[in-house]
Amino acid sequence: MNKEKNNFKYAQVLVDINKLDTKTFSYLIPENLKDEIQVGQSVLVPFGRRKEGLKAYVVGFSDYLEEGIKAKEIIEILESDPLFNLEYLKLLSWVANYYFCDVQTVLKTALPQKFFEKNVKNYRKPKKENLVLKTQKIENNIVLSPEQEKVYQEIKKINSKTSLLYGITGSGKTEIYFKLIEDTIKEGKNVIFLAPEIALVSQLTMRTIERFGSETVAIWHSSITEAEKYETWKKLRNNEIKILFGARSAIFAPIKNVGLIIIDEEHDSSFKQTMPNPRYNAKDVAKKLCELYDAKLILGSATPSIESYYEAINTNSLFKLKNRYNDATLPKVVIIDMKTERAEKNYSLFSKTLKKNVEETVSKGEQVIFLINRRGFSSYTQCMDCGEILACEKCAIPLIYHSQTNSYKCHYCGYELPFDTKCKKCGGDNFENFGIGSQKVEISARATFPDLRIERLDSDNLSKKNEHIEILKRFQDGEIDILIGTQMIAKGLDNKNVTLVGVINADLSFNLPDYKSSERGFSLLTQVAGRSGRGDKKGKVIFQTYNSDNEFLKNAQEQDFEGFWENEIAMRELLDYPPYSKMIRVILSSKNEYRAQKSALEIEFHLTEYIKKLSLDETLLVLGPVECVLKKIREEYRYNILIKNKLQEQGHKTILRFLKSIKLPQDVIMVVDIDPSDIL
């Protein structure tokens, strides 16, 4: 394609060095590059003493330089095809400014850097085809129910950029998504469809291919190979993809002409990146993307986040599906108090009621799900001679025993000890494992139900490509009687032969010292309960608990989101937690605990004084500093400052302006987390 000759003398570039923020530098455009250079290209430029050059990105052009500046010349164009346009750059700049990081850092997250190295031609076609994309299109004549049709028409009419589709489990939200996707494609526009778990991405992609075919559908998440990503990248650049599925990072994919973004299970914390920078939330990035491209955003969930539900109510953009599709009934939920079981000498992981129901369910040719929201074999390991807890040396948190590798592992840094390790306090080897993990449930289930076909699905046993797809397919085909898993199996599975769900320890998610723990616990239990009885057969759910009086557990038993919402929103208002404020979390860490604590105390003091001088101390509230719940991770001691911002954008700018002015010792690291998903 012939390009018009560029008549500008200078190119403005972002040099690929962190901490330069959005500062641009002017470089002279060589005559031989004037008809080639474009915004969005990566180029090689001399910088400082590095004569061999650094990578930079072209973001604009000019004919003028500030007085006294002599521009160096661009060395070469590294990638002839532009990596972004000005609209995309606006999005990345917004992410950098909002989430307190450099544009260069955002670029590295958004653009797959490996594709633009000089060995890019080494990428070949993927060796193994993704099984999801081999799904066949099926002719279907699914008709929306009157309730679905009403909600679909209302969403079509609304002017708001963002709509929340709240529908109880099994109400048919996906069919409404499909109608909106169909409309968007007919308008000549494209769709981004996000889900929180890779397993759920696969399920939704297969259902979509059955409806629309595979020719213009693609997947983007961390479990596909670099070769697959490169193939998808090229198709996106050529506008060959109409529907892109993925986890949170797919929000940065360069799909063109976006008309609709769907975020399913929008309540899930997986949409928030907790590390490294940028610590973005895909939902907020999606909102900005829709604003820039005049697209619509649909958030969907049976258990919406408190913030999304509050916003939808206040913008008249809340749409409800209160009935299951085809008038199917919600499953009956039974709460079993495990204290009573133990009093009756039942020390098994499974209550007598659950055992009996499993046997009855499988005898009828139906299937079972067991949820245990913790990986590994146990929760912690203790020396029975001296009482010492076996902990990670780098993170100061309990190591988890894994039966598959017969070793103790840290789930934060990967630190590992062999099974025959000795106690560091007393030298003994009399260890005992306490608590329950998914591996322990699997071993116990195989011993309790020896004649049944049992599989486990969690991130620990997904080492092979397509393994999760193969397990889910075998479950869907009736080749597995009991599927055991973590939260990975709690959302989106639509197997109409599942009529029993057992939650092995329903208390786990409610016990974390975090203001969102009740919301997470309620959502998880409600979601997994919704996997039961989705077809013509009646479903049953059994919550095993040691705290049967938990009010939120009873809300989940009744599938009562609105009852949960009323209690939770009252607590949030009383304590000024989101949505009544925006949260900013500042973590100070160092290998020297005293230095981390001292830095945190100094920042809190100066920040509080700064806020008082601006007379904003009633709307910007500083809490702490205190030790983080997870005090030590990867050998770094951590202290926490929380800021409740009731001033929205003005407060956000005020706090970040102060934080940018801070000069820290080299051995102290400051992490700023905007809208944190937890405060652990």
Res. 385: pLDDT tops 90:
no
Considering the entire predicted model, what is its pTM?
Answer: 0.85
Edge-first strand listing for the sheet containing 582-590: 620-633, 636-645, 582-590, 669-674
What would the DSSP string read from start to end of 28-97?
EPPGGGTTT--TT-EEEEEETTEEEEEEEEEEEEES---TT--PPBP-EEEESS-S--HHHHHHHHHHHH
Q: Give the per-residue pLDDT at 2.
A: 45
Omega before 625 cis (within 30°)?
A: yes
Q: Give the per-residue pLDDT at 519.
A: 92
| Residue 6 CB coordination number (10 Å) | 15
Confidence of residue 501 (pLDDT cuts 50, 70, 90): very high
Mean per-residue pLDDT for 451-463? Answer: 81
Confidence of residue 466 (pLDDT cuts 50, 70, 90): low
Q: Give the per-residue pLDDT at 624.
A: 87
SS3 state of residue 299: strand
Cα–Cα distance measured from residue 602 to residue 24, given in angstroms and rounded to the nearest whole number: 33
**Contacts of residue 288, Cβ cutoff 8 Å, sequence gap at least 6:** 91, 94, 95
Identify any residues that bridge with 243 across adjacent strands, giving them in sequence order.
191, 217
Cα–Cα distance measured from residue 338 to residue 352, given in angstroms and rounded to the nearest whole number: 10
Q: Give the per-residue pLDDT at 140.
A: 72
Res. 100: pLDDT tops 50:
yes
Contact 69, 26 (CB under 8 A): yes
Omega before 579 cis (within 30°)?
A: yes
Confidence of residue 474 (pLDDT cuts 50, 70, 90): very high
**Structure token pair of residue 520:** 């997470």
Phi first, then psi: give them for residue 582, nearest 5 degrees.
Answer: -100, 140
Mean per-residue pLDDT for 53-77? Answer: 86
Q: Which one has a higher pLDDT value, 65 or 351?
A: 351
- What are the pLDDT digits (tens) for 651-675? 999 999 999 999 999 999 999 999 9
Residues in the chain: 680
- What are the pLDDT digits (tens) for 224-283? 777 788 788 888 888 899 999 999 999 998 888 999 999 999 999 999 999 889 999 999
Cα–Cα distance measured from residue 250 to residue 240, given in angstroms and rounded to the nearest whole number: 16
Res. 70: pLDDT tops 90:
no
Confidence of residue 1 (pLDDT cuts 50, 70, 90): very low
Cα–Cα distance measured from residue 437 to residue 445, given in angstroms and rounded to the nearest whole number: 12
Mean per-residue pLDDT for 345-356? Answer: 94
Res. 7: pLDDT tops 50:
yes
Q: Which one has a higher pLDDT value, 616 or 461?
A: 616
Confidence of residue 632 (pLDDT cuts 50, 70, 90): confident
Name all domains of the chain by residue range, CATH numbers in brackets: 10-118 (3.40.1440.60), 146-324 (3.40.50.300), 328-374+438-574 (3.40.50.300), 380-434 (no CATH), 582-674 (3.30.70.600)
End-to-end CA distance of the chain: 53
Residue in the structure block whose two tokens are 């559908």: 217
Mean per-residue pLDDT for 499-527? Answer: 86
Confidence of residue 438 (pLDDT cuts 50, 70, 90): confident
Confidence of residue 638 (pLDDT cuts 50, 70, 90): very high
Mean per-residue pLDDT for 431-449? Answer: 87
Q: Give the per-residue pLDDT at 511.
A: 67
Edge-first strand listing for the sheet containing 162-167: 217-220, 243-246, 190-194, 258-264, 296-301, 162-167, 318-321
Mean per-residue pLDDT for 186-206? Answer: 90
Helix axes 146-157, 173-186, angle to 10 degrees: 40
